[in-house]
Amino acid sequence: MIRTPLAFALGLTLSLAGAAAAAPPPPPEVIKGLVRGEQPAPDALRALETSGVSPLQAIELIRKVRKLEPKAGEGSFELSDPHGRSTEVLTWTPKAPRADGRYGLMIVLHGLGGNAKQLMQFARNIAPAGTIVAAPGAVKLPPTLENEDVPSFGGDWSPLPHWWRYHREGFPLAALRHLKREFPIDTNRVLLVGYSMGGYGTWGT
């Protein structure tokens, strides 16, 4: 007589535990997976139906997530400095961040005579998973500013088409600040890579 209610209670407990374990993720996570292409549409629809989300509510959630979700692939933005110079920063964003929801960042500085595109493909090939790649373009220094690397070489480098400017006002650090505002960047996973003149840029920055 005692075993039946006890067995029933245990069975009910196990059933509830199994149901809890099989519970679908909350609607926002389902929508994120759908928008990122990480979750098949039929699975997402079933999960939303189980959560009691109507089609109209699902559409509204998709709109909200798309506004907040960083766009994967190639992009760009403009930067300017206090000296009236401006440059375009090319970017490449992976389809998804790292497992902790944050992105790494690799800033790539090109060489003399090159441009922002020079190292983009190379950087994309070596960037760790979940890492954004950003490549600013170097700009010619104004006459009022001295080339910070000239003292180590001597001579007149004013004819050079461009050079990196360092410190806080320089484009490499300005790109970092901009991307930190736009993405959840893990500041312990920021890489600065440069080639030739960009090598001086990495050292000086």
Q: From CA 134, how far away is CA 75, in angstroms rounded? A: 9
Token pair of 130 as six digits: 């979940």
Q: From CA 190, how far away is CA 19, in angstroms rounded? A: 42
pTM: 0.65
Domains of the chain: 15-68 (no CATH), 73-204 (3.40.50.1820)
Q: 164 pLDDT exceeds 70?
A: yes
**pLDDT at residue 83 in the model:** 82
Yes or no: say if 193 and 123 are a contact pair by the CB < 8 Å rule. yes
Maximal CA-CA distance, the chain: 101
Q: From CA 22, how far away is CA 45, in angstroms rounded? A: 16
Cα within 13 Å of Cα(118), Cβ side: 19
**pLDDT at residue 147 in the model:** 73
Yes or no: say if 74 and 92 are a contact pair by the CB < 8 Å rule. yes
Yes or no: say if 138 and 162 are a contact pair by the CB < 8 Å rule. yes
Which residue do the tokens 């960047």 mark?
185
pLDDT, one tens digit per residue, over 53-112 is 887 787 777 766 655 556 789 999 999 988 888 999 999 999 999 999 899 999 999 988
Residues 6+ apart with CB under 8 A from 10: none
Query: One-letter amino acid identity for 10?
Result: L
